[in-house]
Homo-oligomer: A and B are copies of this chain.
């Protein structure tokens, strides 16, 4: 099999995770990295023996050897990089969000369709084996008709007034913070598991901490704390959001997200209630799926390369009962994407289930609707 050549843009934390997971794949080679911080890019290239380093995205995209671009740059340049890469004829795997609003994401989707790009977006939570299992069971009818769903995504890295991030700055992050950053992952899970689109929302965006200390030396991420000088700034974006949702079939849902919930780290939970059974999944113990029944004992299904339905066994990479983690979820997504790419190259059909730019655009539409609903205090239909 001919090796596929990859170029990766953005060698911060998430870019490095991409690099490690790309290296676990066979048949894929990262040939170039780019970062506006050249030292960061050179360190990553040195660590993994990557041949070429660029200090801007455009140069990497122009590299003729690069077939696939991984866009791990900051959110506010996603649109430009993604558009450039598509126009340059590259295949494209982008970090989320696709862009800053649904107008941009619509444009990207259209562009990708026009160029026949094989796109993917990194909504990796759906790639835990038992999340795949829930979706597969729902699809074959075990769940019955979905009636209701609920859940939350809670973190605490913005718990203190001294916690600050560029995500709270509307100039950089756009119109929403937590409902976009965390909400989009949850909305993707809802659509993936139920097989239904979210069509209407009623949202309340709220700021628990209306004042914060912003470090003068630049924003931080993931609760690293701060020691240097800081200034008080007013916060207008949401660090809490609650949303009612409706699916195509009329099923109701309810979601809460907050980044100031002490003790909750990456606490994503989803419950889906169908007319035949129920599912519940928590990212805190990500290898267990709860299956609820009215007339018999509930089940706890632990990921298993033997007991899962045939089509989802491949995501339970290890022998039954060996726990998988976040890295493996991302690896599973990458593997699906590169298998689909190999199929495309070979002119074969592919039935991939990975999230693509249509998914990314749908998430932007939901977020846009949530922001409008919060402003109007009324239900808002999700655009397309």
A326 near B320: Cβ-Cβ < 8 Å:
no
6 contacts between A and B (CB under 8 A): A147-B240, A147-B260, A262-B294, A284-B323, A300-B300, A377-B379
CB under 8 Å from chain B, chain A span 298-329: 298-302, 304, 306-307, 317-328
Q: Does A166 sit within 8 A of B, measured CB to CB? A: no
A297 near B294: Cβ-Cβ < 8 Å:
no
Given A159-B294, A261-B273, A286-B323, 15 more pairs with CB closer than 8 A: A3-B49, A24-B24, A29-B49, A202-B204, A206-B252, A262-B276, A263-B278, A263-B292, A267-B321, A285-B285, A291-B297, A295-B307, A299-B300, A324-B327, A325-B328
Known contacts A47-B27, A306-B223, A325-B323; decide if A264 and B252 are in contact (CB<8 Å): no
List residues of chain B with CB within 8 A of the CB of A327. 317-318, 324-325, 327-328
Closest chain B CB from A376 CB (angstroms): 10
B294 near A17: Cβ-Cβ < 8 Å:
no
Identity of the chain B residue whose Cβ is nearest the Cβ of A146 in the assembled complex:
B208
Interface-facing stretch out of A97-105, A150-158, A190-198, A229-237: A150-158
Q: Does A254 sit within 8 A of B, measured CB to CB? A: yes
Q: Select one of B263, B264, B277, B306 contacting A262, CB under 8 A.
A: B277
Give the number of chain A interface residues (Cβ < 8 Å): 90
B13 near A26: Cβ-Cβ < 8 Å:
no
Q: Does A87 sit within 8 A of B, measured CB to CB? A: no
A299 near B302: Cβ-Cβ < 8 Å:
no
Complex Cα–Cα for A293 and B320 (A): 13
A148 near B293: Cβ-Cβ < 8 Å:
no
Q: Select one of B24, B202, B286, B317 contacting A23, CB under 8 A.
A: B24
List residues of chain B with CB within 8 A of the CB of A292. 156, 261-264
A321 near B262: Cβ-Cβ < 8 Å:
no
Known contacts A265-B302, A322-B325; decide if A208 and B148 are in contact (CB<8 Å): yes
List residues of chain B with CB within 8 A of the CB of A240. 147-148, 252
A306 near B224: Cβ-Cβ < 8 Å:
yes
| A196-214 contact mask (Cβ, 8 Å, vs B): 1 or 0 | 0000001010101100000
List residues of chain B with CB within 8 A of the CB of A263. 277-278, 290-294, 298
Complex Cα–Cα for A265 and B287 (A): 12
Chain A residues with a Cβ under 8 A of chain B: 1, 3, 13, 17, 20, 23-24, 26-27, 29, 46-49, 147-148, 150, 152, 155-157, 159-160, 202, 204, 206, 208-209, 221-224, 240, 242, 244, 252-254, 256, 258, 260-267, 271, 273-274, 276-278, 283-287, 290-302, 304, 306-307, 317-328, 377-379
Complex Cα–Cα for A277 and B160 (A): 11
Identity of the chain B residue whose Cβ is nearest the Cβ of A253 in the assembled complex:
B242
A326 near B323: Cβ-Cβ < 8 Å:
yes
Closest chain B CB from A332 CB (angstroms): 12
A208 near B147: Cβ-Cβ < 8 Å:
yes
Identity of the chain B residue whose Cβ is nearest the Cβ of A144 in the assembled complex:
B262
Known contacts A49-B3, A222-B319; decide if A273 and B293 are in contact (CB<8 Å): no
Complex Cα–Cα for A297 and B290 (A): 10
Complex Cα–Cα for A201 and B39 (A): 52
B256 near A254: Cβ-Cβ < 8 Å:
yes
List residues of chain B with CB within 8 A of the CB of A306. 222-224
Complex Cα–Cα for A159 and B320 (A): 14
A252 near B204: Cβ-Cβ < 8 Å:
yes
